[in-house]
Structure 1
């Protein structure tokens, strides 16, 4: 009985306005744009009655969809609360709840009509609230339901202007992606293509709308997702065994173990302080050998150079190439100038890797800037991540992919 209820609780169907998404029976595609003031990546969802559209920030490491429901122009007449004593509440809380305490509360009549409160987090600022209320609402055409959390307005602080919440894309039970996979009965696969302008995110089987797109998929290299024993850690991470700069292996004082998290909310790749110090020293040595002139750093970057005299190519400035070596020496993620150098002024460019502090949650976080114009595919069924070379090497860009 519980198993049947649990299955029904997850039978949520989702679609978007036809001008905002491109849906096949095997996939769902959303457009993605970049907000340059915050370096966040946004998409649009439409929901409620009457239907209203809103921007949401994409978070690869987020565990749920949360929204500022109070910001709607008109309150939704179809929004329905999820109660504390429901199977859906237990499912949504997942590993954060002590099951025996939840079961004992079923006998308490005071809890009968209490809302299901879910912890929601602004992954940009790190602010968390425990009073977010789990609800469901019609998404479009008055027939599709989506489970999400209504959170306080102040949780929007730090998000891009007009953004009304965050879309969580990890593998947890009620993340946006998990609901899409289950309700549309599609492959548990996310394909992401970001750019400095526009891009796409697709759920399910990737569809090829052009010969160029089809060819790019043939260049994907695959590496395993890190298996995390902690059930609360559901973000996508890969193992980085070593790092090379212009083909020379960097010597690190601190092991690189623990996995490198893929992130769409961290603008630039962050490294634990000891790792960053070794990396910066090695990069500076390689840059100096190419006659690059160091200048004063520009926050948040620690290593900056004169732009004058640095040549360019189809993959960006001619600067040292960074290779993230994965499960073997034959499998590497190459980062060229387009994804390693940030132009901060007409005369200065900075290395887009920053010091993440002494004790970060993840020793390496691969940021959004490094993901741009790289096709990334996360397959939760096979626990693999596929990534392409920089699309610039193929004379293409993620802005070429249209929903």
Structure 2
């Protein structure tokens, strides 16, 4: 779609409009004395914003107390660095994210360069860009610490320091930034933007709010991670409660900034006649001080404002004072209201019918004691550059307004007339036969994977789980014992559980309520719980992006809070993905009319219902589904005498560096299970011993770490291991499957980085209590990461891509920006 000559795709984000005032929030906040070491306990973070008088740019002091310039279109956070700083390797997924947007005028010179301290290591380089000077550079991608304060939406609570991935930059790149600034804090729609990194590190919403100051002595405020938002004086309501409308937020395919669409412009409530009837693209920008209009729009708006103020005294101040403005007035004769100078209001009529109204407080700039000018300028087009948007809203027009953006609910509040909240999700009744997609999050403490499909709360993924289960409200509904879902829920008895079809429940006229037995695959414990009906939510997808939110009915089991033990913090239950009609993917298939299949691209994405599956990288954007190898899926009763509902395949042999490992199976098939509830691949002792011995005999050159880091047997000093595009340069592992395919394990999956200096062989010996009729090998989460794995129950086959590093991409490169 092209609007006014500028291509963009609409996102399912919205601006919500309200009447609210955002004044002096940060400057009057009492600072708390408490401190926190490294995290905000899930609370949003707040930082004061300062306006630099010389440059009219806005800064936040989050880098060792030194300021970074806020840039709504900035793809990276970048700063000057000390001579000694850590670096990231070229194959790291953050390196790929750092190259998701290439700044203008910057040469394409690859992802990295050789590390002078380690010739076998490729260190990642990024391209920090200074939009104010137009200069860019090539510099190391590094890890550093930033800091702000946790907040309850009213006050700062305590300081928080958090880790962030940033780009270094030479001091020469600081030209034209405010004095004392040490870099730029990019806030664009990228995974390395500041708000995205706060969201990941603090476990808060991917959203932020800006209330820019006017530079009159008070600070503004930046909030990262969500509301509530309370303004002074005390007693005012949460501003989110005053929402009154919405307009879509759009994205430009070439630029990472924020765009909305206007249908017309009015001055003094009379429509401005423009040469085009097409929608007008409007960008929000902190790089420029005043709103810039495309020449045809500028001429029409300025002429309309001049006609509407024909009776006001115009003045021609000295050029230095009035530049770059065309219309200036004797401010003593303008009059004033609580909204600023009493001048004609300017309305942007937004897509959806709501208005962004600009009153005198944001339309008139005081350029001298007695002179105020209409604060709009003409866009300066550059030869060879793409057509500019119709309007670029600059910092002055956003001052004393709350501006916010999020993956969940981005916000934008304009003084007295404008509060913009950009919700990612709105409820829909069904997916229209389209697959559903949801983000996957890996929990650092437990190494388990969760999806937030239950009222925004996470459920842990369990490839062997036959139920969806969670804690329930006391007033939950129940399923009757004779209903089909009750029979299905009790078809399989989890380990250590007692089976019953009904319990005492006299509330139901037709008999007792159905009891299910939710099972925690980590602790091996289960508990009785009511079978209930609930609603779950995800996004319809075309395989490349989310399209729109979808809620769908589901049957789930209630569970006591005690059953949540050993699950990730904040998880409210488990999303079973086993071979059951009540597993999550089966219920999606039934309600959305899609295939009974699902794909996991750990640690980032889950897709239910089929393909295609397209990532941001490589630039050719192939459908990864077309690059899969396949093997037959088996059920455990066929293979090992068990009765579980997980996914099993069979292997003929295992090779290390193309040498077959001598195993005790004497040519009999090896049962291999796939599990999301174990972090690292487990091998039965009679398989583990020969396997580890074969690896150790081949991998002789790296320096070992003694004693090794538990639970691993072999660990190495990572600086002594080379690297390539598939991870560490170590021997390949092949699991040769029954039908000729092979599951290849390269360095990116065979070793795990346990600390900055140590990498370990990421395989463990199966515990004795698991040995028996169980599988010979259980492939764990780490070995599935950055592989697209498709579980197709309709065709009874398992598809797998192999390590995506080989395609110069990762699972983290799914584009979660909502498409048109």
TM-score w.r.t. length of structure 1: 0.78
Of residues 118, 128, 145, the one that matches 2:126 is: 118
Contact preservation (8 Å) 1:221, 1:388: no
Distance 1:180 1:286, change over 3 A: same
Deviates more, 1:257-266 or 1:368-377: 257-266
Alignment of 1:55-74 (within 5 A): 55-70=67-82
Of residues 376, 391, 395, the one that matches 2:403 is: 376
State the 1:233 CA deviation. 1.9
Of residues 65, 72, 76, the one that matches 1:53 is: 65
Aligned to 1:346: 369
Distance 1:280 1:87, change over 3 A: same
Of residues 260, 283, 287, the one that matches 2:305 is: 283
Q: Across the two proteins, how many residue pairs are aligned to each other?
A: 354
- The CA distance in 2 between the partners of 1:324 and 1:166, in whole Å, is 30
- The CA distance in 2 between the partners of 1:377 and 1:304, in whole Å, is 32
Alignment of 1:205-244 (within 5 A): 205-209=226-230, 211=234, 213-228=236-251, 230=253, 232-244=254-266
State the 1:204 CA deviation. 1.5
- The CA distance in 2 between the partners of 1:255 and 1:126, in whole Å, is 33
State the 1:249 CA deviation. 0.6
- The CA distance in 2 between the partners of 1:124 and 1:20, in whole Å, is 37
Q: What SS does structure 1 have at the residue aligned with 2:70?
A: strand
- The CA distance in 1 between the partners of 2:394 and 2:256, in whole Å, is 17
State the 1:229 CA deviation. 5.8
State the 1:375 CA deviation. 1.8
Aligned to 1:90: 96
Contact preservation (8 Å) 2:294, 2:388: no
Aligned to 1:172: 190
Contact preservation (8 Å) 1:84, 1:112: no
Alignment deviations for residues 312-365 of structure 1 (CA, whole Å, 9 cap, x no partner): 111111111111110244x10111111010111112111111011246543311
Alignment deviations for residues 232-282 of structure 1 (CA, whole Å, 9 cap, x no partner): 422111112111111001111246646211112211000111111111111
- The CA distance in 1 between the partners of 2:178 and 2:35, in whole Å, is 21
> Does residue 201 in structure 1 map to residue 222 in structure 2?
yes
| CA root-mean-square deviation | 3.3
- The CA distance in 1 between the partners of 2:331 and 2:161, in whole Å, is 55
- The CA distance in 1 between the partners of 2:179 and 2:86, in whole Å, is 27
State the 1:39 CA deviation. 0.8
- The CA distance in 2 between the partners of 1:20 and 1:300, in whole Å, is 47
Aligned to 2:174: 156
Contact preservation (8 Å) 1:181, 1:188: yes
Contact preservation (8 Å) 2:246, 2:352: no
**RCO (CA 8 Å, sep 6+): is it higher in 1 or 2?**
1
Aligned to 1:26: 43
Contact preservation (8 Å) 1:261, 1:362: yes
- The CA distance in 1 between the partners of 2:201 and 2:241, in whole Å, is 29
Contact preservation (8 Å) 2:174, 2:181: yes
- The CA distance in 2 between the partners of 1:21 and 1:346, in whole Å, is 44
**Pair member with larger Rg:** 2
Aligned to 2:795: none
- The CA distance in 1 between the partners of 2:237 and 2:50, in whole Å, is 23
Contact preservation (8 Å) 2:264, 2:279: no
- The CA distance in 1 between the partners of 2:161 and 2:343, in whole Å, is 53
Distance 1:161 1:102, change over 3 A: closer
Q: What SS does structure 2 have at the residue aligned with 1:206?
A: coil
TM superposition outliers: structure 1 runs of 4+ over 6 Å: 17-22, 140-143
Aligned to 2:508: none
In structure 1, runs of 5+ residues without a counterpart are 1-16, 47-51, 393-403
Q: Per residue, is there more helix in 1 or in 2? A: 1
- The CA distance in 2 between the partners of 1:27 and 1:21, in whole Å, is 15
Q: What SS does structure 2 have at the residue aligned with 1:214?
A: coil
State the 1:150 CA deviation. 0.4
> Does residue 269 in structure 1 map to residue 291 in structure 2?
yes
Q: What SS does structure 2 have at the residue aligned with 1:228?
A: strand
- The CA distance in 2 between the partners of 1:263 and 1:133, in whole Å, is 27
Aligned to 1:390: 416
- The CA distance in 2 between the partners of 1:291 and 1:282, in whole Å, is 14
Contact preservation (8 Å) 1:307, 1:348: yes
Aligned to 2:713: none
Contact preservation (8 Å) 2:75, 2:193: yes
Q: What SS does structure 1 have at the residue aligned with 2:123?
A: coil
State the 1:228 CA deviation. 2.9
> Does residue 315 in structure 1 map to residue 336 in structure 2?
no
